Chain A
Amino acid sequence: MTSHPAIEATGLEKSYGNGNARVRVLRGIDLRVERGTVFALLGPNGAGKTTAVRILATLTTADSGTARVAGYDVVADRRRVRGAISLTGQFAAVDEKQTGEENLRMMARLSGLSRADARRRAAALLDRFGLADAGGRLAVTYSGGMRRRLDLAAGLVGDPQVVFLDEPTTGLDPRSRQELWQVVRDLSARGATVFLTTQYLEEADQLADRIAVVDHGLVVAEGTAEELKNRVAGHRLDLVLTSREAYLRLASRAVHHAPENLTLGLPTDGTSARVRALLDEIDPDGTEVARFALRGATLDDVFLALTGAAPAATGHYQEQDQDQDQDQDQDQDQEPTHV
């Protein structure tokens, strides 16, 4: 085998519907994922993440553009691509009325393993995913986190080179999310290439070697977490303001808003000259800014600056952000699917 990248896509476009109802879901996406790395496609609801994954996983075809996965063309060599990949979709794909073990054994048989090998493989996967004790129970009795792990295990029966995970942690509580992150790290340590989509900045930051930010069907930024943070503004100046008027006047320039304590975060490069100039400019009389703090930009800021949308999770600053994070999870659960 030559050293081709695990995934290479050029100019992917895809629309749904006709005439006025036509939606351009992907508007020319280029991607390149090196083998053995973890790549995150980060974007808000409706950005086109699932569509991109489905094209790369050969489940749907692009209107134009080309893609190669594991060195094979996703259209011309569909069968070979399918032999090299696995997909764990956004919506659970296990039979609730089968036990964990039966689900895995079925997938193993479908991947071409003999009966005996399928049994061994199922047992090994249950063990690896911490489901050994639950293996004999119907999946309907599993918690959300267990089901997600089973779902992931079911995708791994065939030892895929490239693993697609579409929003693997959406709807999980923080602890299950941590467990799933560990699973992804293990996968990567075993040499698989992982392509995951997420709405969570923190997730991309934690797991991915490289990140592409998609919005409205376009890649609006691509790079390592570090590069992306640097691209927007190296730092953020957080200002605690003295009045609501000042807060409202400056709100439009901010990349971070916390109205409950009149705090705004403004982008800056962090040099003392610029910070001083910025403070002088917004508060010439020295009355409107009570306190300030300088911090390195986070992916949240990147996301906001690049997509213009509020991120799904606001990560690290405050305690209450964690709660907000969970609220978001529940929203996800209740949202009707777009099938």
Chain B
Amino acid sequence: MSDALASSRTHALTMAGRGIRLSRRNIDAVITAMMLPIMLMLIFVYFFGGAIDTGTEYVTYVVPGVLLLCAGFGSSSTAVSVSEDMKGGIIDRFRSLDIGGAPILAGHVTASVARNVVSTALVLGVALLIGFRPSATPAAALAAAGILFAFIVAISWLSAAIGLLAKSPEAAGGFTFFMMFLPYPSSAFVPIDTMPDWLHGFADHQPVTSVIESLRGLLLGLPVGSAPWVALAWCAGLLALALGLSGVLFRVRTA
């Protein structure tokens, strides 16, 4: 059994190495995944920011939302890479080498996490340049990083499952779109109470809101209440769903 475990680990590590190498060579995708949130941040801060009253400097308000948009958008591209693997002949070759679905998907997720760590750092760098001033204790900053990390892992796995579900890489790309828009009906860019009533229910309770509220609270040194726990619960729930779903879908797709 431990033999099988060791070989699973080698498989997963090799697949992760592959994913990271492929990401590095597909650098334009990484740059797009980064440019988009940065552009949005600049647009929101400089074009709309003056008109939006959030009670603080707008840049301070919006950065957590932008970080999350960046993470969600970046992670969702995992769907496309998984779908491409499933479509090409390579999945048959992996399977004929007796490599399971878990290491293959874990490789993609690892590469996604690595990509997102880089792009998050860069977006944060630009945010600092344009005047974002967090006031977090080291512990709070660490907690914020942890929550963002959990979110990236969960969305990457979910995205991998979507990649198995999609009939083609193009269809899988649709998930990127979904993840790009999910932050809008949340407190990412404007406070929820400025939205129409019928949106409150969704905006208050969707997963993105709790993650943003936690990031914002932790980074700005505000009281966070139960938001971090709600956020972590969401991430754990989504991850569990994604793991279960991808296990089933991999078996169905390769039957």
Tell me the A residues contacting B by CB distance below 8 Å: 54, 57-61, 79, 82-83, 85-95, 97-98, 102, 106-107, 109-112, 138, 154-155, 158, 339
Contacts and interface: CB of A to CB of B under 8 A. Distances in A.
B89 A110 contact: no
B95 A59 contact: yes
Contacts of A112: 7, 10
Contacts of A61: 255
Interface residues of B, number: 24
B196 interface: no
A111 B97 contact: yes
Contact of A59 (B11, B17, B92): B92
Nearest to B90: A93
Given A54-B92, A59-B254, A95 B98 contact: no
30 contacts: A54-B92, A59-B95, A59-B96, A60-B255, A61-B255, A79-B98, A82-B95, A82-B97, A83-B98, A87-B96, A90-B89, A92-B88, A92-B89, A93-B88, A93-B92, A93-B93, A94-B90, A95-B18, A97-B22, A97-B25, A97-B26, A98-B22, A107-B93, A107-B97, A110-B94, A112-B10, A154-B93, A155-B93, A158-B97, A339-B87
A155 B90 CA distance: 11
Contacts of A85: 96
Contacts of B92: 54, 57, 59, 87, 89, 93
Nearest to B97: A110
Interface in B166-197: none
A106 B96 contact: no
A89 B18 contact: no
B141 interface: no
A115 B110 CA distance: 20
B31 to A, nearest CB: 16
A154 B93 CA distance: 9
Given A109-B14, A138-B25, A57 B90 contact: no
Nearest to A54: B92
A98 B18 contact: yes
Contacts of B10: 109-110, 112
A60 B21 CA distance: 30
A158 B95 CA distance: 14
